[in-house]
Amino acid sequence: MKRRAVCRESRQGTLVPVQPEMTGGFLMEICVDSVESAINAERGGAGRIELCSGLLEGGTTPSMGMLQVVKQCVQIPVFVMIRPRGGDFLYSDREVEVMKADIRLAKLYGADGLVLGALTEDGHIDTELCMALLSTCRPLPVTFHRAFDMVQNPEVALETLLTLGFDRVLTSGCDSSALEGLPMIKQLVEQAKGKIVIMPGGGITERNLQRILEGSGATEFHCSARSAKDSGMKFRNTSVAMGASLSNSEYSSKVTDVAKVRTLCAIAKSFL
């Protein structure tokens, strides 16, 4: 049976999904690309899901069928990635139309929040496009994703996101991982002064989470917590690949690991 989202009434009289209370002073968001991973994330103690497709490309928009079934299976909030393709974050007019259509559909199928980002060709936040996308997203909360890590000037970009009204920004500190970008993440947390959530993400594991929390001052973090899962197929044709030659085998997949999520929760609880 589908669970109803808990809502509150906004000043404008519209219903807005209530955000989950932080557990032990932190909130862990897990990025998932399957129903199984979404269920495992909730079982492990995650406070929110970022629902994507194409995690090997950094995440693209999932199908609305995926969103509909995930919403039937979990109670924690589901934020939907709005990204029409992999690659850069400079979008054509037709791609923008796809993004707007996906936002409207995601809202229709029960998204609790949205995740998006867009840049200009010279590496700044595309304010005009972001304003238009935010207008389509409202009243749902919106995260600016790791397009932020490709900006020319992070400090200026953060001020732009504040002005636009984004609720949070996902960042690895403009480096290869959140651990490598820790000094920048800390600087952004201090600059934000609680006006926008700075959420570290990128390569966060049980081995480095405590260092990232200690060094950043962040209270939300983002990870995948996945492990390899062998296929149940008994007959296997290993001569054929469905994707590029360097892609993963069709007989193995990455799925959110309940034990890893629980371990990450325990680390965060012990610190915060």
Would you kindly state where each structural domain of the chain is located, as residue ranges? 27-226+252-270
Phi/psi-derived region of residue 4, left when phi > 0, alpha when psi is between -120 and 50, beta in every other case: beta
| pLDDT tens-digit map of 177-187 | 999 999 999 99
Alpha-carbon span 104 to 180, nearest angstrom: 36
The CA distance from 225 to 255, in Å, is 8
Q: Taking residues 156-176, report their average pLDDT.
A: 98
The answer, yes or no, to whether residue 18 has pLDDT greater than 80, is no
Given pLDDT bands bounded at 50, 70 and 90, which one contains residue 22? low
Model pLDDT for residues 194-243, shown as the tens digit of each residue:
999 999 999 999 999 999 999 999 999 999 999 988 888 889 888 777 76
pLDDT of residue 144: 98
Nearest to 44 by CA among 17, 66, 62, 23: 23
Neighbouring-strand partners of residue 49: 30, 78
pLDDT the model gives residue 249: 73
- Give me the percent of the chain exceeding a pLDDT of 90: 77
Q: Does domain 27-226+252-270 have CATH number 2.40.10.10?
A: no
pLDDT of 257 higher than 80: yes
Nearest CA among 190, 192, 184 for reference residue 160: 192
Q: Is residue 20 over pLDDT 50?
A: no
Share of the chain above pLDDT 70, in %: 89
Tell me: pLDDT of 8 over 60.
no
Q: Does residue 29 register a pLDDT over 90?
A: yes
pLDDT, tens digit, 9 for 90 and up, residues 83-129: 999 999 999 999 999 999 999 999 999 999 999 999 999 999 999 99
Q: Tell me how far apart the alpha carbons of residues 236 and 241 are, in angstroms, rounded to a whole number.
A: 11
Residue 16 has a pLDDT of 42
Q: Beta 15-17 vs 27-32: how paired, if at all?
A: unpaired
* Helical segments of 55-199, H only: 64-73, 93-108, 127-137, 154-164, 182-192
Look at residue 7 in the predicted model and tell me its pLDDT.
39
